[in-house]
């Protein structure tokens, strides 16, 4: 995924100008970005993965790549299940070593992950998580049978995923905030950016925060609908000339 950040070196020498550097985002949520002068910035995202994957799904939807957007919406929800479960484990005072080892056992099977999430959700909220079978069947048809979805079907799926993510984020923010912060620090540490910086003295480090369409960490966060998401995405595209 293409990623943009402000060039740290250009910003130090001339803070009045906005100079963008671009690179490719890795699965560890960092990118080595280069500006037109050749300066290199190591941009490490401060976000949770589903926040970024959701942004990619919205972009695909807005550019009418519906199958691609359904794949990414699905991945965003599945990665949110992972965060919820891991934050739940941290709350039980289980160490990261054990959490990471355990996740290895289930990370290749989404049904196992979904099961662990449902259990964690039930314990934290004392309610049962419910999926919409119609939407799950639709997703399977697209993902496994190559069904070509139209805009209206994709919109309905996007609204469903946004509602589910909104529920998860509001519970994470209310009940597992401290655990999510610990998880984020752990994930950032695992990226091993320090090793890259030590091996490449020209690299400048930048912890990057992008606008979150789901308003993930906003202090005044209220319910977010897909309609809100589309409006925000349009504003951001105008403001940053399509870079974010
Ligand atoms: Zn530069």
For 36-79, write each residue's pLDDT tens digit: 999 999 999 999 999 999 999 999 999 999 999 999 999 999 99
Query: Can you tell me the mean pLDDT for 152-157?
Result: 98
Q: Of 12-16, 131-135, 140-144, 147-151, which range is least confident?
A: 12-16
Q: pTM of this prediction?
A: 0.92
Q: Determine the pLDDT at residue 242.
A: 65
> In this predicted structure, what is the pLDDT of residue 116?
97
Regarding whether 205 and 147 lie in a shared domain, the answer is no
Same-domain pairing of 141 and 219: no
- The reply to whether 111 falls in a domain is yes
85 lies in the same domain as 164: yes
The reply to whether 101 and 200 lie within a common domain is: no
Average pLDDT for 151-171 = 97
Q: How many domains does the chain have?
A: 2
Integer distance in angstroms from the first to the last C-alpha of the chain?
11
pLDDT of residue 221: 87
pLDDT at position 20: 93
Range of the domain at 77: 64-180
Q: Cα-Cα-Cα-Cα dihedral of 84, 72, 167, 133, to 10°?
A: -100
Which H helix or E strand runs over 16?
Answer: none
Would you say residue 239 has pLDDT above 90? no
59 close to 213: Cβ distance less than 8 angstroms: no
- Note the pLDDT of residue 190: 83
Supply φ then ψ for residue 128, to 5 degrees.
-95, 135
Three-state SS at 242: coil
CA of 116 to the centre of ligand 1 (A): 45
pLDDT of residue 191: 81
Mean pLDDT for 88-114 is 95
Q: What is the pLDDT, as a whole number, of residue 243?
A: 67
Q: Is residue 202 part of a domain?
A: yes
**pLDDT band at residue 145, thresholds of 50, 70 and 90?**
very high
Query: From the CA of 7, how far away is ligand 1's center (Å)?
Result: 5
Query: What's the CA-to-centroid distance between 34 and ligand 1, angstroms?
Result: 7
Helix (H) or strand (E) holding 217: none
**Residue 211 Cα, ligand 1 centroid: separation in angstroms?**
22
CA of 48 to the centre of ligand 1 (A): 27
Task: Based on the fold, state whether residues 132 and 114 are members of the same structural domain.
Answer: yes
Provide the pLDDT confidence category of residue 244 given band limits of 50, 70 and 90.
low
Q: What span, in angstroms and rounded, lies between the C-alpha atoms of 206 and 217?
A: 19
- Asked if 42 and 68 sit in the same domain, the reply is no
CA of 102 to the centre of ligand 1 (A): 42
User: What is the residue whose two structure tokens read 């250009």?
Assistant: 10
**107 close to 132: Cβ distance less than 8 angstroms:** no
The percentage of the chain sitting over the pLDDT mark of 70, rounded to a whole number, equals 99
Q: Are residues 170 and 196 in the same domain?
A: no
């Amino acid at each position: 995924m293409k990623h943009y950040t402000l060039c740290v070196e250009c910003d130090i020498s001339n803070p009045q100008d906005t100079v963008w550097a671009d690179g490719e985002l890795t699965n560890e949520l960092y990118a080595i970005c280069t500006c037109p002068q050749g300066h290199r910035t190591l941009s490490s995202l401060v976000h949770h993965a589903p926040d970024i994957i959701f942004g990619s799904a919205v972009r695909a939807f807005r550019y009418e790549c519906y199958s691609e957007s359904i794949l990414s919406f699905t991945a965003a929800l599945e990665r949110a299940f992972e965060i919820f479960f891991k934050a739940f484990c941290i709350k039980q005072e289980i160490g990261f070593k054990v959490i990471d080892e355990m996740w290895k056992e289930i990370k290749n099977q989404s049904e196992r992950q979904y099961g662990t999430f449902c259990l964690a959700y039930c314990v934290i909220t004392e309610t049962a998580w419910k999926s919409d079978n119609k939407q799950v069947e639709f997703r399977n048809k697209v993902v496994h049978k190559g069904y070509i979805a139209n805009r209206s079907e994709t919109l309905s799926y996007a609204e469903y995923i946004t509602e589910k993510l909104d529920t998860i984020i509001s519970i994470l923010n209310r009940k597992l905030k401290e655990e999510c912060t610990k998880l984020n620090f752990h994930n950032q540490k695992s990226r091993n950016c320090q090793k890259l910086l030590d091996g490449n003295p020209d690299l400048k480090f930048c912890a990057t925060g992008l606008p979150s369409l789901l308003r993930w960490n906003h202090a005044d966060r209220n319910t977010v609908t897909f309609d809100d998401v589309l409006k925000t995405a349009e504003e951001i595209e105008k403001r940053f000339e399509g870079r974010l």
